[in-house]
Amino acid sequence: MKNILRNAEIKAMATVGNVKSTVNQTFGRAKRALANCEGQGTLDVAITVLISIVLGALILAGLYLIINGTVLPTITKRIKEMFNYKG
Protein backbone atom coordinates (compact mmCIF):
# COMPACT_ATOMS: atom_id res chain seq x y z
CA MET A 1 0.00 0.00 0.00
CA LYS A 2 2.90 2.32 0.83
CA ASN A 3 4.39 1.71 -2.62
CA ILE A 4 1.13 2.62 -4.36
CA LEU A 5 0.85 5.89 -2.42
CA ARG A 6 4.53 6.67 -2.98
CA ASN A 7 4.21 6.01 -6.74
CA ALA A 8 1.11 8.20 -6.91
CA GLU A 9 2.93 10.98 -5.07
CA ILE A 10 5.92 10.73 -7.42
CA LYS A 11 3.66 10.86 -10.49
CA ALA A 12 1.75 13.84 -9.09
CA MET A 13 4.99 15.71 -8.36
CA ALA A 14 6.28 14.97 -11.86
CA THR A 15 3.02 16.23 -13.38
CA VAL A 16 3.19 19.42 -11.33
CA GLY A 17 6.77 19.94 -12.47
CA ASN A 18 5.77 19.48 -16.11
CA VAL A 19 2.89 21.95 -15.75
CA LYS A 20 5.17 24.51 -14.09
CA SER A 21 7.75 24.28 -16.86
CA THR A 22 5.05 24.58 -19.55
CA VAL A 23 3.56 27.65 -17.86
CA ASN A 24 7.00 29.23 -17.51
CA GLN A 25 7.75 28.63 -21.19
CA THR A 26 4.40 30.09 -22.24
CA PHE A 27 4.84 33.18 -20.08
CA GLY A 28 8.39 33.59 -21.34
CA ARG A 29 7.22 33.56 -24.97
CA ALA A 30 4.41 36.01 -24.14
CA LYS A 31 6.83 38.32 -22.34
CA ARG A 32 9.23 38.30 -25.30
CA ALA A 33 6.38 38.96 -27.72
CA LEU A 34 5.12 41.91 -25.68
CA ALA A 35 8.62 43.33 -25.25
CA ASN A 36 9.22 43.20 -29.00
CA CYS A 37 9.15 46.80 -30.22
CA GLU A 38 9.57 46.08 -33.89
CA GLY A 39 6.71 47.19 -36.11
CA GLN A 40 7.19 44.65 -38.85
CA GLY A 41 4.01 43.05 -40.02
CA THR A 42 1.74 45.71 -38.54
CA LEU A 43 0.96 47.30 -41.89
CA ASP A 44 0.44 43.91 -43.51
CA VAL A 45 -2.01 42.90 -40.81
CA ALA A 46 -3.87 46.21 -41.08
CA ILE A 47 -4.23 45.84 -44.85
CA THR A 48 -5.37 42.22 -44.48
CA VAL A 49 -8.01 43.21 -41.93
CA LEU A 50 -9.23 46.06 -44.11
CA ILE A 51 -9.51 43.80 -47.16
CA SER A 52 -11.36 41.19 -45.09
CA ILE A 53 -13.87 43.76 -43.85
CA VAL A 54 -14.51 45.12 -47.34
CA LEU A 55 -14.94 41.65 -48.86
CA GLY A 56 -17.21 40.61 -46.00
CA ALA A 57 -19.38 43.69 -46.53
CA LEU A 58 -19.62 42.99 -50.26
CA ILE A 59 -20.58 39.37 -49.68
CA LEU A 60 -23.23 40.36 -47.12
CA ALA A 61 -24.64 43.01 -49.47
CA GLY A 62 -24.85 40.46 -52.28
CA LEU A 63 -26.59 37.92 -50.08
CA TYR A 64 -29.01 40.60 -48.88
CA LEU A 65 -29.90 41.49 -52.47
CA ILE A 66 -30.33 37.84 -53.46
CA ILE A 67 -32.51 37.02 -50.47
CA ASN A 68 -34.69 40.12 -50.73
CA GLY A 69 -34.99 39.98 -54.51
CA THR A 70 -35.47 36.27 -55.11
CA VAL A 71 -36.00 34.15 -52.04
CA LEU A 72 -38.39 36.21 -49.90
CA PRO A 73 -40.92 37.02 -52.65
CA THR A 74 -41.02 33.35 -53.64
CA ILE A 75 -41.49 32.22 -50.05
CA THR A 76 -44.16 34.86 -49.44
CA LYS A 77 -46.02 33.81 -52.59
CA ARG A 78 -45.93 30.13 -51.63
CA ILE A 79 -47.11 30.81 -48.09
CA LYS A 80 -50.02 32.90 -49.40
CA GLU A 81 -50.90 30.12 -51.85
CA MET A 82 -50.90 27.55 -49.02
CA PHE A 83 -53.31 29.58 -46.89
CA ASN A 84 -55.55 30.57 -49.83
CA TYR A 85 -56.17 26.98 -50.80
CA LYS A 86 -59.71 26.54 -52.07
CA GLY A 87 -60.15 22.83 -52.37
Whether the per-residue pLDDT at 57 is higher than 70: the answer is yes
Whole-model pTM: value is 0.42
Give the pLDDT mean for 30-56: 85
- Which segment of 19-33, 42-56, 72-86 scores lowest on mean pLDDT? 72-86
Three-state DSSP string of 4-35: HHHHHHHHHHHHHHHHHHHHHHHHHHHHHHHH
Categorize the per-residue pLDDT at 56 as very low, low, confident or very high, splitting at 50, 70 and 90.
Answer: very high
- Which segment of 52-56, 58-62, 83-87 scores lowest on mean pLDDT? 83-87
